[in-house]
Amino acid sequence: MKNFKIVLTVFLSTSLMFIAFGQTKTDVQGTKIKPEFLTKETFKKKVVDYKSGESNDWKYLGDKPCIIDFYADWCRPCRMLSPIVDEIATLYKDQIYVYKIDTQKEQELAALFGINSIPAILFVPIGKQPTMVSGYRDKAQLENEIKQYLLSK
């Protein structure tokens, strides 16, 4: 009976850890890949160093294309999209950067891009103008857009 209690306790503890922390896809080496959350400061260092109130020419600072998921925690479609974005970060880890911006915390960035509907995804290619799409997308649709906007020659 004592062994049964120990096994049950270990099983329940492990199950609760998976529920609490979520399951994250891993790459071939087992490394967890998650999107990076950007603030206004990190956005200026990694994406575009814009000046507040000025319209600058777009000059992307990254060395490979990126997608930026504009979201809010209270948004149900955003929460549905989040695990797909996490999976995309793993699948395309060598080809693109995947970033997330919380529109509630980073209201200046949301205003800069005219975000009035979320989720919204900004596709930022190298040497071209970015493309914004809004609304939930499934994995296949998001992968098609990555190929269309970021990985096509």
Give the tens place of pLDDT for each residue, 57-90.
678 999 999 999 999 999 999 999 999 999 999 9
pTM: 0.76
Q: How many CA atoms lie within 13 A of 51 on its CB side?
A: 4
Section 108-119 average pLDDT: 93
Pairing relationship of beta strands 97-102 and 36-37 according to DSSP bridges: parallel
pLDDT in tens, 121-131: 999 999 899 99
Q: Where are the beta strands (DSSP E) in 10-110?
A: 36-37, 66-71, 97-102
User: What are the structural domains of the chain?
Assistant: 25-151 (3.40.30.10)
Confidence at 1, pLDDT banded by 50, 70, 90: low
Q: Which residues are catalytic?
A: 75, 78
* Joined tokens for residue 103: 């529109």
* Joined tokens for residue 38: 């950007």
pLDDT at residue 51, as a whole number: 74
